[in-house]
Chain A
Amino acid sequence: MDGNIALTVISESILTGGSVRLRPVQESDLPHFQRWLADEELRRWMGSVEDQPTMEEESDWYLGRREDPDSVLWTIETSDGVLLGTTELRLSPANRRAEVGISILDGAHWGLGYGTEAMRLVLEYAFDELELNRVELTTDAANDRAIRSYEKCGFTREGMMRRHRIFNGIVGDTLIMSILREEWASK
């Protein structure tokens, strides 16, 4: 499988579900993302964002992803076009595998099932279109709400990376989860 060919296909892809839609990120989304990242609880669960980024940092993040042939990034929005967050597949084409990341950035929309539905759209794409063998993710081991959502989508717990993350000086564990092609197919 060729990562570059995959990207050409996917970067144009709009995935539509019952209540959410995944579409390519636009520059006009970035100020919203940047503003939401002021929320410390959100940043804690993301694990990779210590401080609220500046607009310049947010823009650098977006441009970096856009130039990376192994990154597929979508904006998640409601069917009515209300912005909710982002989701990304980071491909390892040689191993037919990807890591998925997902964030409902707007805390007002947490717990309503949008993330779960968006994840199912990404998995459908990863297995049915890209024909991957494995999709994996890592999450803060204390993030019960996210873990419940991932299990609903069919992810299995594989391992606990001890003392893997630090946020505001507090050390925590990271859970690694995955779903395999045959598990998705049998759902």
Chain B
Amino acid sequence: MTVAPDVRLEGELVRLRSRREEDLALFVSWYNDPDVRHWLHMSEAGEQTVETERQRWELTRQDPARVTFVIETKDGVTIGNVGLIAIDEVHRRAELGVSIGDKAYWSQGYGADAIRTLLRFAFETLDLRRIELITDADNARGIRCYEKCGFVREGVLRAHRLRYGNPLDMLIMAVLSEESGLK
């Protein structure tokens, strides 16, 4: 799925913009923060570098089933990433991924605003009908945020991933276009 590099999505607190080369060093600093990594799949990966981040960026750019945005505040401070992966145009669904990498912006509604802004784009512009996500079952802050955005719990996936080598349950949640209030 191609989104023009100059596409910007405006929310109430945040703006979503496309990635730039100069973002990479900032992303690396976030992903090397143990508090940020804890909730991400990369909790099991080694130390990140600008080079590993650049490789990931190149791979994701080539993936037609993915759209990725950088989250910045209305003042232009870059605070996180949000995107859709596994966009399936036949079944009109996709998975959502989001992280606020700058901890100073946690728990103030920036993530929820970014998610709502992306959901509006997913349902109205991409004409998708179902957006799903999986998250660590003990990620209470994340789950509260997803519920605020309309996501509904659909099941617990037992021992779905490893965190620091230990099996961890994950929650699957989804929001449908007709229940989102956005369309």
Which A residues contact B (CB, under 8 angstroms)? 50, 94-97, 133-134, 136, 158-166, 176, 178, 180
Contacts and interface: CB of A to CB of B under 8 A. Distances in A.
21 contacts: A95-B44, A95-B162, A96-B167, A97-B161, A133-B159, A133-B162, A134-B158, A136-B157, A158-B155, A159-B154, A159-B155, A159-B156, A159-B157, A161-B155, A162-B130, A163-B176, A164-B91, A165-B91, A166-B92, A178-B157, A180-B158
Given A50-B90, A176-B172, A95 B160 contact: yes
B167 A133 contact: yes
B157 A161 contact: no
A161 B154 contact: yes
B155 A176 contact: yes
Contacts of B93: 164
Contacts of B172: 159, 161, 176
The binding surface of chain B is classed by DSSP as: strand
Contacts, number: 63
Given A50-B90, A176-B172, A163 B129 contact: yes
Shortest Cβ-Cβ A-B pairs, 8 listed: A159-B155, A95-B161, A158-B155, A159-B154, A134-B159, A133-B159, A166-B91, A133-B167
A162 B167 contact: no
Interface in B37-89: 41, 44
B132 interface: yes
